[in-house]
Structure 1
Amino acid sequence: MSKRALSSSTSPSKNKRLKIQLASQPKIENFFYSSTKARVSVNPATNARHSSPSRQKASTSSTAIPDIIDVDSLESEDENKLKHYKELKNESPVVPVVGTLAGSNARLSEAEFSSLDVDPSLYDPVLQPSNSPHAPYALLTHALVALSQTRSRISIINILTNLLRTITLKHPSSLLPAVYLLSNTLGPQFVPIELGLGSSIISHSIQQVSGLSPAALKRMYNNTGDPGDVAFAAKTNIRTLIPHAPLTVPYVYQSLLRISRCKGHGAGKEKQKIVEKLLLAASGEEVRYLTRTLYQNLRVGAVRTSILAALARAFVLTPPSTIPNHPSASTDSAFSSPGKISVDSASRATLGSPSKRKQTYNALSVRFKEAESLIKQVYVKHPSYDQIIPALLEKGFESLAERVPLVVGVPLLPMLGSPTRSLDEIYDRLNDLPFSAEFKYDGQRAQVHALRTFNGGPTVKIFSRHLEDMTTKYPDVIGLVNSMFRTSENLTSFIMDAEIVAIDPTTGLIRPFQDLAGRARKDVNIRDVKVTVCVYAFDLMYLNEKPLLELTFNERRSLLRNNFIVRKVPQEDLSVSFFDFVESCESIQGRIFIEEFLSKAVENRCEGLMIKLLDTPATAVVGDPEEKQKRMKALPATYEPDVRTSGWLKLKKDYIDSMSDSLDVIPVGAWYGNGRKAQWWSPILLALWNPETGRPVALCKCMSGFSDAFYAQMRAKYSPDSEHCSKQPIWECDFGGFSPDIYFQPCEVWEIRGADITESPVSMAAHGMVSSSRGLSLRFPRFIKTRGDKSIELASSPSFLVEIWKSQQGKGKGPAQMDDGELIDVELEDSDFDRSDSSESD
């Protein structure tokens, strides 16, 4: 990749335009916080920004070569800049041509790109004007602008498909960084790459590039609540005298990686230098979305499922054989093989009779579904674009699953259980099929990977439920795996699903989850381990170079118990953790025994039971193959990564009929408190996660169950000046009739209980699913605990809320009192139960 250098300046002349060197701004604590130190001033008479003579003298003596900023076009006052920005908000966003360079480095404006929001079968990527080796960042920005203007999932997938087709055909080397930038990540989930870029660095960089004062930028931020909009407005009239080369997708991605690698003394300055280079080279809408990328909030609806679907469709329409200079490239642009459409043939699909067009579209639809299913199956077993995209570029879908297989060291997405509310529901779902009931431990779910190396010792990796690498958090578990390989010569590799639980080393009794939560998150020294843990294994997905996902749970459990030995003896050595299998019982022991087993689980500080189907049913509905296939798919005994099926059912003590409802919700906003709670947020607006739209949907207000300490912690995290708060709804969420005083960034999950579920005219949760004009809400919600183990995508869904509502109606409770969304801030007894984290188990 070619290096980019900032433009240099020569000695200023009296006959030339006034040039300034931007002085270093003081460090700020929050976004656009005003500083009291000296800063660049404005001389209304000359309409130019300048610093004091002493500061100018210091600038000329500096060895650093500054960027030259043409300030002739700047407004004379910051207020005029704000006025101009307000006018821009009502105009269509256009990327202005800052300057042109010779050859393929010429900057492209957004107007030059053809629309991406069209049917992929009608789209021709050849018509896009980008022809440089690397994809221009302007093309990616063009797609982000289109994505931000629609909420239709069909349109989102079409835009992504057409973008990825263009990059695949014209800039294949840019495909991997483009996908990471679209997904707002720097790498796979299990690779610990953090941007580590504070809002102060971004705001300081915008000040340096724009020349505006912190106060002016602060006013812009108060008007919009979005740093991307502020950066766009601040840089609108800024021009460099010597134009920068246009940004490319690989350059932006590599710059972000360089930022993530900045460590130690002087890291902040180095990060700011990289950010300033990016902002100086960016133009128009590039500035807006580059800033949002730096701020890690793109505000577009490109969720993982949409990106995978678009990637599959892109390679259906543009297979590797159509890529220029590809080894398999063919001169024939017609159907290269059944279901594969090249660039030209996609356009020809619109010709001919209507029946021919219909046949073509039907065939294309089938091919899309097959390709999407294949890529998703590969991704859930090997969730890394680092291997998937190069494999697609090499041979397309041909033997993709074999070329990107399940391997030790790369975590697969865990299988999930479906919630149930009673044993009656469990027996009804499983149709009296044999099942196993297991303790649902209150610990941290862990995926343990181990591979024997040439020297005999294993390489060990431990991943969390969210695929985060937490190997260094558990040196005692690493010691356990080492002992397993020493005592078993036949053991060469395995991937195990387990729950890590704190226990008493002398009695073996389970200790509270808080004891485990007190352990440091990484780089734990074995000498600092104070709490003994036990690894309770409950599944085995890989053993001795053989994947086991297609085996039934009964078969996998047998292999687990036959190849590993329980290690649970009272001891004083904490360098090696305990090992045991989850405590379980079988359905053949009778329903009464299962009920007693549930009580035993609660007594042993477990969350409830996990019900697992032992074997896939051999027969379903006699004489109807389609119904049989659907039934077997709904009741799999195989291991299904990233799928919530009826093969695994969870019966939590909070879900039992005699208990209150329990939901996992997302705090998305709040109102100012009254009386004693005036210094805090109360009530809090809670939301469910809608997987169909890829964003939260408002459910209800909550003001019960919070301790004073929790209120204080929440106010500190969601302070009005923090990056997690905004006076404007800048984060995607369906708020319905709720209008909170402050909006929260959806970033955590809480567990709540309520009295019952009711219809609501203001709630958008499950809107249209039970009523054409109303959603569902929760009456008398009460905060239980923070679910630190769950991401917002794992919060309860509207469909789950509907299931509880239907169950409630079936019990004869009838329709509950209407919830109009109002909540009086009454004084309730504050709960002293303040728990910052909870089980990582499903």
Structure 2
Amino acid sequence: MVKRKLSFDDAKSSPKKRTKHGSQARLDAFFTTSPGKIRATPLETPVETNHGEKIPSLSPLVIDVDAEDVETQFEERLVPPLAVPQTVRVQKKEVNIPGHSVKFQPLQFAPLDVDPINYSPDGQPWLEKGAPYAFLTHAFSTLSSTRSRIIIINTLTNCLRTIISKHPESLLPSLYLLSNTLAPPYAPIELGLGPAIISRAIQNVSGITPATLKKLYNTLGDPGDVAVAAKTNLRTLVPHPQLTISYVYDSLMMIAHSKGQGAARQKEKLIEKLLLSANGEETRYMTRTLCQNLRVGAVRTSMLTALARAIALSYESPGLLEGEDTLHNKAGLSDCPRNELNEIFLKAESIVKGVFVKHPNYGNIVTALLDTGLYGLEEKVPLTIGIPLHPTLGSPMRSLDEVYDRLANQPFVAEFKYDGQRAQVHAITKDGRLSEFKIFSRHLEDMTSKYPDIQLLVNSLLERSPSISSFVMDAEIVAVNPRTGAIKTFQELSNRAKKDVQVRDIQVSVCLYAFDLMYLNGESLLQKTFRERRSLLQNSFSPYTPEEIGFARFTHVESMNSEVGQASVEVFWRRSIESQCEGLMIKLLDNIVVDPEGDKSNSHMRKKPLPATYEPDKRTAAWLKLKKDYVSGVGDSLDLVPVGAWYGNGRKVKWWSPILMAVYDQSSGQFVAVCKCMSGFTDSFYQDTRDRYNPGDGPDVICSPRPLWECDFGGFTPDVYFRPQEVWEIRGADITLSPVSVAAKGLGSLTRGLSLRFPRFLRVREDKTIEQASTPEFLASIWKKQQGSKEGHVEDELVDVDFASSPGVSEDDLSELVA
């Protein structure tokens, strides 16, 4: 029997937390009324929370929520043994139960934000059965209280170092939990939790009504804070055992793998067990993890940096410093001069990050690290068929003159930049037949089932080239006319189903345009120049058009060498735009040395090597993007009004990003939302915007969590709403039909509104009033101009410009928006 006395006495003593994070739509839905047999008492006298706000107190309540248990098939793996003394927690006091002599005491952890040199893992309390989840939440609390990168890195380093020292088996689940993930990005493992399931679980555990849960959310604004407040005075006759990191991770994996009939109830019971066993900060961060809204600043770069440093401090590794036979062990490092220690850290980080971008699988990397440390990591975890590497990224340019200045007139190749979906193709043959095949997206997601026609195409290519046993190819999948092979728009490609496509059901034909080769016949090509890789690609794979109409085609990207002269490249650039491409990719052929600043004075002191090798996950200057929406004079800009925003992620967590922009409908006097914008802003502009649009109440409020002004938001649901008061100049790639925006609906299409694709902020138009903003009619006129010969013929291509949820948006440009 579990008894609950519900009030908020403990809320006063908990640290102050930020409120209202993540998707407003998701958080609002999180607290919608849901069915369930919940018993609760009426609201009583309000009490003050740690936020200084008044929220209702609840009368004492006793409720049995353990009447049902998880199925016996999960019991042995999921439920940890009761290895702690049984006590009753009453008003923060620990009381012995007769027959048990030891009290249950919460673990008190030492600070983690200190310099790793001055930190000792031995000072942290631990559990005999494994790494305590409370230790991880101790790290979460430290991370969420700072924006200092140094403190974040120190905290993560000390956390991982402690786990390596005390319970290395928990290192892998700790990395995933800290990263708010369960598996590598290419593994289709998701919690699959809807807001109703989590909401019911909190109600069942706490005994409060849906209405009370909603009131708590309106006051506290964060699901984790709400869960803590809801079960503040939870009392148990027989306390649950303390959570371990492995137990929490296994429970989440069980939730992710619950499928079929009854899965929702199964997931709900697993969540209840986690929340019942959680205490204090464990409850807060457990709930945020379940909501996929952890928000502690542990981004991938920080995680890899901390992992490298933790391993360097924990293991001896030969050859990390030039002239050094071994890296000192953790005791010896404390005596290292700071400059030498920093050099060791930099080398360790380079190794770990270099391996991860070629093999982004924490499981394989952790196994190798725990075995021998950093020594030989590159050989133990190499580029592998079936595991995507992070692609090389291009740097945007605004003119061909800038390109020639950047590359110092060295030879390069200009390639059409097709408006399709970037694809990384992996293949292995066995006995002359395709034995393993994968296609990964720009963001490493497995999209093999989306393109069965590409698999048939690759099988045909390998049959025609028996000397090829394996390869990894970088390419672009583009929609084409099934008869002529003429390029179609990205909107056409987005009409294809996203997964589990059958060849017989394919209605949008595609062509695979290959432009790079990273692996061939068991050999990595990453360190070869682009000239060499390009030659291997063209000599190994010939263009192929199958006899069957509608089957996938293969060819190389259309290209031109720079030796033909700048005037010819300029013509080539214009032709790429006319061919419905996005522009050009400029790629250096050979390794060169350039002046990175373009300053000819004292250039002998400033020149740096510019490699033409394949650089995973780097926005290299050897690959340059010349896109039509980057070039001045191409396309019309729009004068739009900011009318809402979402809370930022990662580095932009303290700002508004993206920002919802709107046109002005003169006939109705309303502003109509048209697109999200998150590109072109400086940090100072972000900060200034956050200061100006600060949520509040009263007659002068200009930012509110509720829509207070006359705006038509269509399908957009921002976290906060702005009072229309400014005009911003925005430029984008083109105007598209959208199922989200309702701007200009009926002017371009009878069923869809129009939106701006890949919008980029240019400036604030202080010379214009909001009534002078661009109109839906102007938006429609631009769209009609883009139709060219198709003017007057409406095609309702599906393009979802809601970047937060759309898998069809060009991934290369979405990366540009987030950068």
TM-score range, shorter chain: 0.7 to 0.9
Distance 1:63 1:315 in 2: 38
Say whether residues 1:169 and 2:146 are aligned partners. no
Say whether residues 1:186 and 2:182 are aligned partners. yes
- Provide the residue aligned with 1:472 in structure 2: 449
- Provide the residue aligned with 1:780 in structure 2: 729
- Provide the residue aligned with 1:684 in structure 2: 644
Distance 2:285 2:95 in 1: 17
Specify which of 430, 434, 437 is matched with residue 460 of structure 1: 437
Q: How do residues 62-461 of structure 1 correspond to structure 2 at under 5 angstroms? A: 109=106, 112-319=108-315, 338-342=326-330, 344-347=331-334, 349=335, 360-454=337-431, 456-461=433-438
- Provide the residue aligned with 2:18 in structure 1: none
- Provide the residue aligned with 1:753 in structure 2: none
- Provide the residue aligned with 2:529 in structure 1: 552
SS of residue paired to 1:646: strand
Contact 1:101–1:107 at 8 Å: present in 2 too?
no
- Provide the residue aligned with 1:829 in structure 2: 776
Distance 2:310 2:235 in 1: 37
- Provide the residue aligned with 2:749 in structure 1: none
Specify which of 644, 668, 690 is matched with residue 735 of structure 1: 690
Moved more, 404-413 or 506-515: 506-515
SS of residue paired to 1:305: helix
Per-residue CA deviation, residues 355-402 of structure 1 (Å, 9 max, x unaligned), is xxxx61111110000101111100100011011111110000101000
- Provide the residue aligned with 2:518 in structure 1: 541
Distance 2:438 2:383 in 1: 15
Per-residue CA deviation, residues 803-829 of structure 1 (Å, 9 max, x unaligned), is xx8xxxxxxxxxx87759995695712
- Provide the residue aligned with 2:810 in structure 1: 839
| Identity value in percent | 46
Supply the RMSD in Å over aligned alpha carbons.
4.5
TM normalised by structure 2 equals 0.74
Kindly tell me: are residues 63 and 488 of structure 1, through their superposed partners in 2, closer, same or farther at Cα, counting changes over 3 Å? closer
Q: Compute the displacement of 1:549 (Å).
A: 0.6
SS of residue paired to 2:433: coil
- Letter of the structure 2 residue corresponding to residue 835 of structure 1: V
SS of residue paired to 1:265: coil
Q: Compute the displacement of 1:655 (Å).
A: 1.4
Kindly tell me: are residues 544 and 36 of structure 1, through their superposed partners in 2, closer, same or farther at Cα, counting changes over 3 Å? closer
Kindly tell me: are residues 715 and 421 of structure 1, through their superposed partners in 2, closer, same or farther at Cα, counting changes over 3 Å? closer
Contact 1:29–1:200 at 8 Å: present in 2 too?
no
- Letter of the structure 2 residue corresponding to residue 641 of structure 1: P
Contact 2:423–2:477 at 8 Å: present in 1 too?
yes
Contact 1:473–1:523 at 8 Å: present in 2 too?
yes
Q: Compute the displacement of 1:741 (Å).
A: 2.2
TM normalised by structure 1 equals 0.72
Contact 1:699–1:778 at 8 Å: present in 2 too?
no
Kindly tell me: are residues 129 and 734 of structure 1, through their superposed partners in 2, closer, same or farther at Cα, counting changes over 3 Å? farther
Q: Compute the displacement of 1:511 (Å).
A: 1.1
Q: How do residues 17-32 of structure 1 correspond to structure 2 at under 5 angstroms? A: 30-32=29-31
Contact 1:613–1:648 at 8 Å: present in 2 too?
yes
Q: How do residues 744-763 of structure 1 correspond to structure 2 at under 5 angstroms? A: none
Q: Compute the displacement of 1:238 (Å).
A: 0.3
SS of residue paired to 1:461: strand
- Letter of the structure 1 residue corresponding to residue 583 of structure 2: G
Distance 2:458 2:112 in 1: 51
Kindly tell me: are residues 474 and 399 of structure 1, through their superposed partners in 2, closer, same or farther at Cα, counting changes over 3 Å? same
- Provide the residue aligned with 2:33 in structure 1: 34
Q: Compute the displacement of 1:541 (Å).
A: 0.3
Distance 1:223 1:820 in 2: 40
SS of residue paired to 1:388: helix
- Letter of the structure 1 residue corresponding to residue 577 of structure 2: V
Contact 2:468–2:521 at 8 Å: present in 1 too?
yes
- Provide the residue aligned with 2:662 in structure 1: 703
SS of residue paired to 1:703: strand
- Provide the residue aligned with 1:529 in structure 2: 506
Say whether residues 1:583 and 2:532 are aligned partners. no
Kindly tell me: are residues 29 and 660 of structure 1, through their superposed partners in 2, closer, same or farther at Cα, counting changes over 3 Å? closer
Per-residue CA deviation, residues 528-560 of structure 1 (Å, 9 max, x unaligned), is 011211000000000000000111111100000
- Letter of the structure 1 residue corresponding to residue 775 of structure 2: L
Kindly tell me: are residues 268 and 277 of structure 1, through their superposed partners in 2, closer, same or farther at Cα, counting changes over 3 Å? same
Contact 1:698–1:736 at 8 Å: present in 2 too?
no
Distance 1:707 1:178 in 2: 55
Contact 1:616–1:632 at 8 Å: present in 2 too?
no
Distance 2:647 2:288 in 1: 24
Distance 1:153 1:127 in 2: 24
Distance 2:95 2:429 in 1: 57
Distance 1:695 1:61 in 2: 42
- Letter of the structure 1 residue corresponding to residue 178 of structure 2: L
Distance 1:688 1:30 in 2: 19
Specify which of 638, 658, 663 is matched with residue 633 of structure 2: 658
Q: Compute the displacement of 1:654 (Å).
A: 1.2
Per-residue CA deviation, residues 410-436 of structure 1 (Å, 9 max, x unaligned), is 100000000010111111101111110
SS of residue paired to 1:187: coil
- Letter of the structure 2 residue corresponding to residue 840 of structure 1: E
Distance 1:61 1:243 in 2: 17
SS of residue paired to 2:29: coil
Contact 1:443–1:841 at 8 Å: present in 2 too?
no
Per-residue CA deviation, residues 234-286 of structure 1 (Å, 9 max, x unaligned), is 11100221111100001100111110111111110000010000001111110
Kindly tell me: are residues 346 and 549 of structure 1, through their superposed partners in 2, closer, same or farther at Cα, counting changes over 3 Å? closer
Gaps spanning 5+ residues in structure 1: where?
A: 1-7, 10-16, 21-27, 75-94, 322-327, 329-335, 350-358, 664-669, 672-681, 718-730, 745-762, 764-776, 789-794, 806-815
Q: Compute the displacement of 1:657 (Å).
A: 2.1
Distance 1:662 1:400 in 2: 50
Moved more, 296-305 or 735-744: 735-744
Per-residue CA deviation, residues 184-213 of structure 1 (Å, 9 max, x unaligned), is 000001111111011111110011011111
Contact 2:662–2:671 at 8 Å: present in 1 too?
no
Contact 2:316–2:327 at 8 Å: present in 1 too?
no
Q: How do residues 720-731 of structure 1 correspond to structure 2 at under 5 angstroms? A: none
Kindly tell me: are residues 549 and 696 of structure 1, through their superposed partners in 2, closer, same or farther at Cα, counting changes over 3 Å? farther
Per-residue CA deviation, residues 51-93 of structure 1 (Å, 9 max, x unaligned), is 9xxxx9x99999999x9x999969xxxxxxxxxxxxxxxxxxx
- Letter of the structure 1 residue corresponding to residue 584 of structure 2: L
Q: Compute the displacement of 1:99 (Å).
A: 8.6
Per-residue CA deviation, residues 675-724 of structure 1 (Å, 9 max, x unaligned), is xxxxxxx6234899886x6776658762239999xx9998999xxxxxxx
Distance 1:62 1:186 in 2: 24
Q: How do residues 588-607 of structure 1 correspond to structure 2 at under 5 angstroms? A: 588-607=563-582
Contact 1:688–1:796 at 8 Å: present in 2 too?
no
- Provide the residue aligned with 2:786 in structure 1: none
SS of residue paired to 1:363: helix
Distance 1:578 1:101 in 2: 77
Distance 2:355 2:535 in 1: 26
Q: Compute the displacement of 1:742 (Å).
A: 3.4
Q: Compute the displacement of 1:339 (Å).
A: 3.4
Kindly tell me: are residues 180 and 707 of structure 1, through their superposed partners in 2, closer, same or farther at Cα, counting changes over 3 Å? farther
Distance 1:97 1:714 in 2: 56
SS of residue paired to 1:188: coil
